[in-house]
Amino acid sequence: MAGPINSFGRWLAKKMPKRLYARSLIIIIAPMVLLQSVIAYVFMERHWQMVTERLSTAVVRDISAIIDIIETYPQDDNYNNITRIAQQRMGLNISILPPDPLPPPGPKPFFAILDYFLSEEITRQINRPFWIDTVGDSDLVEIRIRLDNHVLRVFAMRSQAYASNTGIFLSWMIGTALVLLIIAIFFLRNQIKPIQQLATAADSFGRGLPLPEGFEPRGAEEVRRAGTAFLRMRKRIERQIEQRTMMLSGVSHDLRTILTRFKLQLALAKGSFDTAPLEQDIADMQNMLEGYLAFARGEGTENVGELDLSELMKTLQKDAALRERGFVYHIEGSPLVQLKPKAFSRLVSNLVSNSFRYAKNVDVAIVHDDNDLVIIIDDDGPGIPANMREEVFKPFFRLDEARNQDASGTGLGLSIAQDIARSHGGNIMLDDSPTGGLRVIVEIPL
């Protein structure tokens, strides 16, 4: 029993809308529709049928009394007295017709409740051949009953035999429901809008974009608290980035002073011993320090701007020519994209330059649409083992054949590129390339 229930639950979860606004509308509309359906069913089943049955019984009872009077008491040739009594006392317009055959049965309406009750009551109270028409004139009901030598034709108002207030009731019920639903949607929209604004602000901050203009916590108390908590978190993160940048700048200044002293002492000590290894170590330390600090400062201060990817590709194409490497690129969509230009240019340059070191040919495919920016870099180099593709993104990770460093590298190329991608809300993934080397996939949401 639990299996079908779980399967139905999963199916229902897939069919349900994913957005909060749509789900909230369902929460409001579903109970209202259910309640209105139950009320309508109870009304139709109890009130409408019961009232129609009683009205039809009363009309047939009057007709039965008219038949008894006609057959019991002598009447004038034109039946004027019984016609007058029926019209004035019972609200029925009757006439006595020759004993012609009754008309053939006509089509029944879709809701044949009046035909049903009239037929049932005529059969039960009068039990004579009859013919009824409830389809013709909307205000009148025609009934014909065969007597011994005549045919009695009766015209009765439909309201005498039928609960005519049904349409009014249903109109009021549906109209009231629609008015309440419109009011509910209006207020619900105002409650959902601050949540949508908060989601947009969080997404913008996660991708390194400025907050939407005029954003401030609004709506219900819980939504205001969430918005206030987000703004406080944003300030703490920005303050932490600023403090980290200031600290690294201070460390950079101090280390540069020490490295300058080392260089001076080595310059004075030339000729006393071989200083080449020490000079190489100092150069490596300075490259590592400058590279990481330049990235940290750029991440904390650079604003979002327009980057021309075609110009960036042309620059990399010139670099490929200097390195004697094959380089092909293809851009699908607009080459202009809103990102942090310097940081993102460094990301692409790091990845492509890394391919230049280990491969002879590099192919770059860029797809830019309204939602995403995807950059795929394929090369024919040695690649990276599948079990090490997560490790190479760690700072200072050293792997003899890794693609994130060379003899003069700092071990920070891929880690810096990944940090830049994540600061834009994206990610970098590694895979096998169809050309036999490494495939690098950069996905940035826009």
Fold of 233-298: Helix Hairpins (1.10.287)
Q: Letter for the amino acid at 96?
A: I
Coil, helix or strand for 438?
strand
Tens place of pLDDT per residue across the chain (446 aa):
556 677 766 776 677 677 777 777 777 788 888 887 887 777 766 777 788 888 888 889 999 998 888 888 887 778 888 888 888 888 888 888 888 888 887 766 655 677 888 888 888 888 889 888 876 656 788 889 988 888 899 988 887 877 666 667 777 778 888 888 888 888 888 888 888 888 888 877 776 677 777 788 887 788 888 888 888 888 888 787 777 777 767 776 677 777 777 777 777 766 666 667 777 777 777 776 776 666 555 555 567 788 899 999 999 999 899 888 999 999 999 999 988 888 888 889 889 988 888 889 999 999 998 888 999 999 998 888 888 888 888 766 665 544 444 444 556 678 788 888 888 878 899 999 988 889 999 998 87
What local confidence, expressed as pLDDT, does residue 194 receive?
85
**Ramachandran area for residue 370 (φ above 0: left; ψ -120 to 50: alpha; else beta):** alpha
Give strand pairing partners of 308: 336
**Ramachandran area for residue 380 (φ above 0: left; ψ -120 to 50: alpha; else beta):** alpha
Q: Does domain 20-167 fall into CATH 1.10.530.10?
A: no
Q: How far apart are CA 372 and CA 377, in angstroms?
A: 16
CATH of domain 302-445: 3.30.565.10
> Can you give the residue ranges of every domain in the chain?
20-167, 233-298, 302-445
The answer to whether 351 touches 417, Cβ cutoff 8 Å, is yes
Q: Letter for the amino acid at 336?
A: L
What local confidence, expressed as pLDDT, does residue 343 receive?
84
Give the sign of the dihedral formed by CA 302, CA 305, CA 311, CA 312. Answer: positive
Coil, helix or strand for 304?
coil
What local confidence, expressed as pLDDT, does residue 406 receive?
45
The rounded Cα 322 to chain-centroid distance in angstroms is 50
The answer to whether 431 touches 439, Cβ cutoff 8 Å, is yes
User: Which whole-number Å values give the CA distances from 308 to 118, 210, 268, 340, 425, in the listed order?
Assistant: 83, 20, 48, 11, 20
Radius of gyration over alpha carbons of the chain, in Å? 44
Give strand pairing partners of 330: 365
Q: Letter for the amino acid at 130?
A: F
Q: How far apart are CA 100 and CA 185, in angstroms?
A: 63
Tell me which H or E stretch contains 298.
helix 276-301
In b/e form, how buried is each residue of 141-169, taking b as 16+ CB within 10 angstroms? bbbbbbbeebbbebbbeeebbbbeebeeb
The rounded Cα 239 to chain-centroid distance in angstroms is 35
What local confidence, expressed as pLDDT, does residue 291 receive?
63
What local confidence, expressed as pLDDT, does residue 138 receive?
65
Q: How far apart are CA 38 and CA 45, in angstroms?
A: 10
Tokens 């170590």 found at:
281
Rounded-to-10 torsion of CA 125, 126, 129, 130: -70
Q: How far apart are CA 420 and CA 207, in angstroms?
A: 10
Coil, helix or strand for 37?
helix
